[in-house]
Amino acid sequence: MASPSRPPLDPSRLSVKETKGFSHLRQLLLAPEQSELERLKNRLDHYILEPSDVGRVLPDAIRLRAQQDSRLLSSMIPITQEALSLSIKQSPQLISDSIAPILGPAIRKAITRAMRGMVQSLNQTLEYSMSWKGLQWRWEAFRTGKSFAEVVLLHTLRFRVEQVFLIHKKTGILLNHVVADGISGQGEEVISGMLTAIQDFVRDSFGQKQDDSLESLRIGDLTVWIEQGSGAILAGVIRGAPPTELREVFQETLETIHAQFSELLQTFKGDVTSFEETCLPLEDCLQAQFEKKSKGLPFFFWVLIGLLLLGLGVWAVQARSNQQQWTQLLERISQEPGLVVTSVEEQGSESIFYGLRDPLARNPEQILLEAGYSPKQAVFRLKPFMDLTPEFVQRRAHRVLQPPNSADLRWETTHLSVVGHAPRAWITKANLLGPLLPGLMSFDTNGMAGTEDMERFDTLRARLEKLSVNFLVGGSALTVGEKTIISKISEAFESLDKQALLLGLNPQVQVLGFTDSRGTRDANLELSTARAENVVDALPINSFRALKIEAIGKGVSISAEIGGLPIGGRRAVIRVVRPQGNLLESPK
């Protein structure tokens, strides 16, 4: 018998006991699945997106969304900008460190380029500012209102790349554009388009193939060189006549850009910001070359050289003259008696003289001054010595002996005689010092007389010359009365003779006879002679050893005086003529 079918089990109608049993049974049968189900249910009920989950899918999600459209990019721009701004505010050093490796070389390169341009411009300006041409250009600058540097540039420019365009080949859109210093761009985007259009036009009109293209345009002194790449065109606007090597620079630059930006060029959709980094290679194309001055050096340079040469000539002449003067001075110092220069050392502006100097020699500084030099220009380091040349022996003798004016030093090579008269004390001192004088072999004062003895001789002579013998008219005989006078005269002669002997003199004594004016000349001469002879005869002349006495008739007397007395008339007078010997010779 078939068992009746049972209704499905309804857990809600189970008793407590049954429920427990049911749960137990379910747990036995479905425990693993149940716990898994509960875990999943729990996760769904309390779903929290785990970062790890997002992290897994985020890169792919961003890539896929970015491929779809640019909305994600647009959404991220403000967030990125804000994040970047905040980051810079909070840790500027971090940003600085991050971009330094990029900015550093770029800044250095930019500064180098700017400095190079500035130096070149400065060089140009300086080079021409001193020339005759430079003056003409200054006038031109003044006339045209342009700056001098600009005029120099225009005249000396061989070529200069003023602008470089990097153009997207397919669209004609300007990807980047750089200009030289002092050049201002205008409507580059449109120029870029027009350049592309012109190329298309020329190619369509004249080109045989698609690859054919316009390579250069020229108007006035401006040339546009166009280099074609697969994705971009490089056009350089050049003033002047560029060298063919520049074309290679353009080509290399374009190749470099293609190598770096190939993919961007292929997928270009109008966003030119990606091509900002092409600035550096493009700026390398901004080359310039200026004419070297071939026509010699500037006018003012020659003037300057002329002045310099003139100055040099004057200096050389002056130097030569100075040298000559200096040589003459050296010679003069060397030849100066009592100075011996052994060496001269130059120390800066100072000359040091080494050598010997006799104390009696001239001060060399005085010689320096006389030659027009400052004493500061020379230092004399001279050791004392004794010069034994005759000149210095004599100087030394004069200095040591200090002879009075009445004494004369007489030299015979190395022998010194002193003649004249001097006080006896001096003669005594001279006799002591003279033989000791260096350079002298012998010395004597034999020719010297004591001044006191000379005075005595003079006194006696004066006394003798005051005496006279009178005669009668026409007579020559001695009268009785006059014999007394003869006696006095004889005594005076004797005294003078003794003094002359003492002094070593042989004075000549003249007895002069005179007449009055009466009678003939011959008779008077004869009478006067007789009168003189009679007087001499009356004297004991043989007893006089030094005196040399002679009688002289003088005829009619003239108005003259001997020994302070008038001579003339009928008389005989005595005159002591120059003494024989050295002592009474006129002193110095």
Partner 1 sequence: MSDPRAIQKKVCMLGGFSVGKTSLVKRFVTGQFSEKYHTTIGVKIDQKSLCVDATEMLLVLWDVYGEDDFQKVRASYLQGSAGYLLVIDGTREDTLEVAHQLRALAIQSMGPVPYALVINKSDLREAWQVDPEMYKDLASNACLVLETSAKTGEGVELAFAELAKQLLNG
Which chain residues interact with partner 1 by CB under 8 A? 69-70, 74, 168-174, 187, 189-190, 192-194, 197-198, 200-201, 203-204, 269-273
Closer of 143 and 209 to partner 1 (Cβ): 209
Q: Which residues contact 461 (CB under 8 A, 6 or more apart)?
A: 496, 507, 576
Q: Is 546 exposed, middle or buried (0-12, 13-18, 19+ CB in 10 A)?
A: buried
Q: Which two tokens stand for residue 153?
A: 């540039």
CB of 110 to partner 1, least distance (A): 20
DSSP, collapsed to helix, strand or coil, labels residue 174 as strand
Closer of 232 and 440 to partner 1 (Cβ): 232
| Distance in angstroms (rounded) separating the CA atoms of residues 454 and 579 | 12
| Distance in angstroms (rounded) separating the CA atoms of residues 156 and 140 | 14
Kindly tell me the sign of the dihedral angle through the C-alpha atoms of 493, 580, 446, 402. Answer: positive
CB of 190 to partner 1, least distance (A): 5
Closer of 73 and 126 to partner 1 (Cβ): 73
| Distance in angstroms (rounded) separating the CA atoms of residues 399 and 402 | 5
Closer of 205 and 294 to partner 1 (Cβ): 205
CB of 148 to partner 1, least distance (A): 32
| Distance in angstroms (rounded) separating the CA atoms of residues 363 and 472 | 73
Closer of 130 and 272 to partner 1 (Cβ): 272
| b/e sequence 465-482, b meaning 16+ C-beta within 10 Å | bebbbebeeeebebeeeb
| Distance in angstroms (rounded) separating the CA atoms of residues 371 and 369 | 5
User: C-alpha distances in angstroms, 100 versus 94, 103, 419?
Assistant: 10, 5, 110
Closer of 268 and 457 to partner 1 (Cβ): 268
- Give φ, ψ of 297 to 5 degrees: -95, 160
175 within 8 A of 278, measured Cβ to Cβ: yes
CB of 181 to partner 1, least distance (A): 21
CB of 193 to partner 1, least distance (A): 4
CB of 262 to partner 1, least distance (A): 17
Closer of 193 and 563 to partner 1 (Cβ): 193
Quick one: which of 336, 335, 355 has its CA closest to 344?
355
Q: Which two tokens stand for residue 343?
A: 């060496």
CB of 130 to partner 1, least distance (A): 44
CB of 111 to partner 1, least distance (A): 24
573 within 8 A of 514, measured Cβ to Cβ: yes
Helix 51-68 to helix 71-90 angle (10° resolution) is 120
CB of 109 to partner 1, least distance (A): 23
179 within 8 A of 238, measured Cβ to Cβ: no
Closer of 198 and 330 to partner 1 (Cβ): 198
CB of 209 to partner 1, least distance (A): 13
Closer of 50 and 69 to partner 1 (Cβ): 69
Q: Could you give the strand order of the β-sheet that contains 350-357, starting from the edge strand earlier in sequence?
A: 339-347, 350-357, 378-384
567 within 8 A of 469, measured Cβ to Cβ: no
User: In terms of residues, how long is the chain?
Assistant: 588
CB of 220 to partner 1, least distance (A): 18
Q: Taking the C-alpha atoms of 99, 104, 106 and 109 in order, what is their torsion angle to the nearest 10 degrees? A: 180
Closer of 84 and 472 to partner 1 (Cβ): 84
Q: Which helix (H) or strand (E) holds 176?
A: strand 174-179
CB of 219 to partner 1, least distance (A): 14
Closer of 193 and 404 to partner 1 (Cβ): 193
| Distance in angstroms (rounded) separating the CA atoms of residues 409 and 399 | 12
Closer of 179 and 562 to partner 1 (Cβ): 179
Q: Which two tokens stand for residue 92?
A: 């500027």
